[in-house]
Chain A
Amino acid sequence: MSCVITGMGAVAAVGGGPEQIFTALCAGTSGLTKLRAFDLNRYRAHHAYEIDDRTGPGRDEPLRATRWLVDAVEQACADGGLTPAARVPVLLGTTLREQRSVELWWRGEGEVSAADLHFGPALRRRFGFTRTYTFANACAATLYALGLATDLLDLGMADAVVVAGTDAITESAFGTLDRVQNRTPEALRPFDRARAGMLMGEGASAVVVRRDGDGDRPALARIRGVSMNCDAYHPTAPDPAGIAAAMHAAHTRAGLGPDEIDLVMLHGSGTELNDAAEATALHAVFGDAAARPLMTAIKSMTGHTLGGSGLLSLIVAVLSLHRGVVPPIAGLTDPADEAAGLRLVSGTAATAPLRTAQVDAFGFGGINAVAVVERS
């Protein structure tokens, strides 16, 4: 059986919808700014890719992640011609849930209830969805959710599924990462020799997935296969072997060889460890074909949008497949050694006829998910 994407929605620092985000990324526009609400005196890193929607400057507020999620889901349902209904499963991927709201509540700066922690109650109130599942699967969360959505459709347990993800930056995660990174990045620069580490971004993403032939909207892309696994190696560091296994499994599920992949949306989180592990895995899986596909990393302009990042990459990939245009990796001027032999897009957007794309998403806990999509 075959699953297709019929609707898309997204919110990020660089735009409030898929088209706006895609246009910004192709123009090399970055959402990077100084931290908008955290106290700079308490951090070494002072930059992030935040969404500028707080009601006042310099003061944070709860439930922003929920707000973006509702926005992205609304966009995707409208785009996909899906009328929200109780029977439609909604699979949500997130790294941090509403933990930023918990921090504000704990510090006496906002209110939160246990029901706010996951996103089901908000989606029930807004859309009437009752079959909602929140998966806290770190930065592979939305591609995990996408894979599980295709399983539900394949098993005949649903006719349409909404897959979505969201994350707002928390002090605990931003701060601990800041503490751990050896250098203090002023921008997220995947595969560049001058990279200094990861910086977080904010945003939400959503798609409507259906069985091919169902619904009255044309398919935007076909989902050829989604793999998911776990390194079982280290709580935060990636393992090239686990990543390679996930890539290989995705190709097998897709029924495609590595020489049939036209575009790779890299996880590209801007850390030396990730870049090395991802490049090693790509060489191991693609072999001689590693130099063939175009490769890009949108986190260089959106920041690492955590749980929703995999699906945001996928949404950009779908638009790239249709337009034949691939956004560049912003800030990539001097490729690191491990970039050798990979066709990384730098400088300006690349143009090429494209049919298939691989999307990578890796997260804490050593969890990996890789999706392969095809233009329809």
Chain B
Amino acid sequence: MTGPGRPAAVTGIGLAVSGLGTPDDLLQPDGAEEAFDPATGLTGRAMRHKDRASRFALRAAADALRDAGLLTGATFAGPASRTCVVVSTNFGNLDSVCTFADTIAEDSVLGLSPLGLPHTSSNSVAGWLAIEYGLRGPNLTVCNGGTGGLDALFWARAMIAADRADVALVVGVEPDTAPVARLVGHRPRLDGAAAVVLESVPHRRSRGAPPRAVITACTHGAALPDAVRAVRGTDRQPVGLWLTPAGPRPGDAASSWCATTRDLTARLGECSGALGVLQCVAGVSYLDASGPGAVLATSADGPDHTAVAALLLTAPGQAS
């Protein structure tokens, strides 16, 4: 199950991560010239009454939509009823859930704010994104552990292939909040969001938007070698960059077909459901800079990595 055989093109990317500036920074060893600062970057009228995850997601989405040429000012200029939203997050609303439980224990429900209601449901980020830009297509929230980011890209592509949408706004977001710190054992962790705009090839062509990359294949399975084999396909695409998290390490056999490996979590910490979308943004950035070969992204779920996802990103070609 590597995909429906119809390619989908990436036409925009965006990033809002504490300590990073542009998407190019994802592949730099350290430092960023103008790093995103949540203290100033997550404020403003549109951010009111929203949780930290939603605010990061709105920032990254705005960048990606603008990058794709789909914003006129701050207004969405694409096909609103044919644009779907896919969000991947595992920890997005845990701060609300835990804070509200504390408030009930201390003050009863009378201590709660009615404004918190949307954030009790795990899909609030996707709802806010739809409202902000009037996106009336399918609205999907993937909470699928460590593979969630790549899974979100899989489903965005599937919804385009199934003709449920022409455009997909895909966002991976994990906020750094107190419950997350405790849950991941106080290890370093991401505080931010990444966004990708995916488009059907006919729609991209109809509006003359340049393709930045093509998601050639993606899959979800039990074993890393099988998943990698599946997305590389029968023509065994040469891989210029393999984005892989800590855990499943490329074996020695990889050296013959893979030039470079990179683990984004080495710099960003635990990225959870945002990882796959961050990898996609990093991969597009790599291809933008004319990096050779394809980009392979892999991620895994669970303490024993019993589920893996893989995605192959290639430079735009004639079919994109």
Show the binding face of A for B, using Cβ within 8 Å.
41-44, 86, 89, 94-97, 99, 102-103, 106-107, 112-115, 117-118, 120-121, 124, 130-138, 144, 147-148, 151-152, 154-158, 170-173, 175-180, 228-236, 242, 245, 363-367
Whole-angstrom distance between the Cβ of B299 and the nearest chain A Cβ: 13
Which residues does chain A contribute within 8 Å of B94, judged by CB atoms?
Answer: 99, 102
- B130 close to A366 (CB less than 8 A): yes
Query: 7 closest pairs, A vs B, by CB?
Result: A365-B127, A136-B122, A172-B100, A235-B118, A230-B139, A151-B162, A130-B222
- B100 close to A175 (CB less than 8 A): yes
- B109 close to A179 (CB less than 8 A): yes
- A176 close to B307 (CB less than 8 A): no
Given the known interface contacts A114-B272, A115-B302, the answer about A131 and B1 at a Cβ–Cβ threshold of 8 Å is yes
- A115 close to B303 (CB less than 8 A): yes
Which residues does chain B contribute within 8 Å of A156, judged by CB atoms?
Answer: 4
Which residues does chain B contribute within 8 Å of A230, judged by CB atoms?
Answer: 85, 127, 130, 135-139
Q: A94-B143, A138-B123, A175-B109 provided; 16 other pairs, C-beta below 8 A?
A: A95-B121, A95-B122, A103-B98, A117-B143, A120-B307, A130-B306, A134-B144, A151-B158, A170-B97, A172-B104, A179-B110, A232-B134, A234-B131, A364-B118, A365-B130, A366-B139
When each residue 22-62 of chain B gets 1 if its CB lies under 8 Å from chain A and 0 otherwise, what string results?
A: 00000000000000000000000000000000000000000
Name the residue on B nearest A241 (C-beta): B136
Determine whether B116 belongs to the interface, using a CB cutoff of 8 Å to chain A: yes
Can you list 7 residue pairs at the A/B interface with Cβ under 8 Å? A94-B122, A99-B93, A114-B90, A138-B121, A172-B96, A232-B130, A364-B118
Determine whether B142 belongs to the interface, using a CB cutoff of 8 Å to chain A: yes
Name the residue on B nearest A230 (C-beta): B139
Which residues does chain A contribute within 8 Å of B145, judged by CB atoms?
Answer: 114-115, 117-118, 120-121, 134
Whole-angstrom distance between the Cβ of A2 and the nearest chain B Cβ: 15
Inter-chain CA distance A131–B226, complex, in Å, is: 13
Which residues does chain A contribute within 8 Å of B4, judged by CB atoms?
Answer: 155-157
List residues 98-151 of chain B with CB under 8 A from any CB of chain A.
98, 100-102, 104-105, 108-110, 112-114, 116-118, 120-124, 126-128, 130-131, 133-145, 151
- B120 close to A176 (CB less than 8 A): yes
Inter-chain CA distance A176–B114, complex, in Å, is: 7
- A151 close to B90 (CB less than 8 A): no
Inter-chain CA distance A202–B221, complex, in Å, is: 31
Which residues does chain A contribute within 8 Å of B127, judged by CB atoms?
Answer: 230, 235, 364-367
Determine whether B164 belongs to the interface, using a CB cutoff of 8 Å to chain A: yes
Which residues does chain B contribute within 8 Å of A137, judged by CB atoms?
Answer: 123, 139-141
- A232 close to B100 (CB less than 8 A): no
Pick from B1, B110, B138, B184: contact of A114, CB below 8 A. B184
Which residues does chain B contribute within 8 Å of A171, judged by CB atoms?
Answer: 100-101, 104
Inter-chain CA distance A226–B270, complex, in Å, is: 36
Whole-angstrom distance between the Cβ of B42 and the nearest chain A Cβ: 18
Which residues does chain A contribute within 8 Å of B108, judged by CB atoms?
Answer: 41-43
Which residues does chain A contribute within 8 Å of B138, judged by CB atoms?
Answer: 144, 147, 228-230
- A86 close to B101 (CB less than 8 A): no
Which residues does chain B contribute within 8 Å of A138, judged by CB atoms?
Answer: 121-123
Which residues does chain B contribute within 8 Å of A135, judged by CB atoms?
Answer: 140-143
Given the known interface contacts A42-B104, A135-B141, A367-B123, the answer about A175 and B130 at a Cβ–Cβ threshold of 8 Å is no
Inter-chain CA distance A103–B158, complex, in Å, is: 34
Determine whether B179 belongs to the interface, using a CB cutoff of 8 Å to chain A: yes
Which residues does chain B contribute within 8 Å of A177, judged by CB atoms?
Answer: 117, 120
- A365 close to B123 (CB less than 8 A): yes
List residues 134-177 of chain B with CB under 8 A from any CB of chain A.
134-145, 151, 155, 158-159, 161-162, 164
Whole-angstrom distance between the Cβ of B300 and the nearest chain A Cβ: 11
Whole-angstrom distance between the Cβ of A148 and the nearest chain B Cβ: 7
- A172 close to B136 (CB less than 8 A): no
- A228 close to B121 (CB less than 8 A): no
Which residues does chain A contribute within 8 Å of B183, judged by CB atoms?
Answer: 102, 112-114
Pick from B80, B131, B158: contact of A157, CB below 8 A. B158
- B136 close to A148 (CB less than 8 A): no
Which residues does chain B contribute within 8 Å of A155, judged by CB atoms?
Answer: 4, 158, 161-162
Which residues does chain B contribute within 8 Å of A175, judged by CB atoms?
Answer: 100-101, 104, 109, 112
Inter-chain CA distance A42–B220, complex, in Å, is: 44
Inter-chain CA distance A313–B272, complex, in Å, is: 33
Name the residue on B nearest A151 (C-beta): B162
Inter-chain CA distance A176–B179, complex, in Å, is: 19
- A179 close to B114 (CB less than 8 A): yes
Name the residue on A nearest B142 (C-beta): A135
Inter-chain CA distance A154–B6, complex, in Å, is: 14
Determine whether B67 belongs to the interface, using a CB cutoff of 8 Å to chain A: no
Which residues does chain B contribute within 8 Å of A229, judged by CB atoms?
Answer: 81, 136-139
Determine whether B301 belongs to the interface, using a CB cutoff of 8 Å to chain A: yes
Given the known interface contacts A114-B90, A232-B131, the answer about A136 and B143 at a Cβ–Cβ threshold of 8 Å is yes
Inter-chain CA distance A369–B247, complex, in Å, is: 38
Which residues does chain A contribute within 8 Å of B303, judged by CB atoms?
Answer: 113, 115
Whole-angstrom distance between the Cβ of B105 and the nearest chain A Cβ: 7
Which residues does chain A contribute within 8 Å of B109, judged by CB atoms?
Answer: 42-44, 175-176, 178-179
Given the known interface contacts A102-B179, A155-B161, A172-B104, the answer about A133 and B124 at a Cβ–Cβ threshold of 8 Å is no
Which residues does chain A contribute within 8 Å of B105, judged by CB atoms?
Answer: 42, 107
Which residues does chain A contribute within 8 Å of B184, judged by CB atoms?
Answer: 114
Which residues does chain A contribute within 8 Å of B102, judged by CB atoms?
Answer: 106-107
Inter-chain CA distance A155–B138, complex, in Å, is: 18
Whole-angstrom distance between the Cβ of B127 and the nearest chain A Cβ: 3
Whole-angstrom distance between the Cβ of A29 and the nearest chain B Cβ: 29
Which residues does chain A contribute within 8 Å of B302, judged by CB atoms?
Answer: 115, 120-121, 124
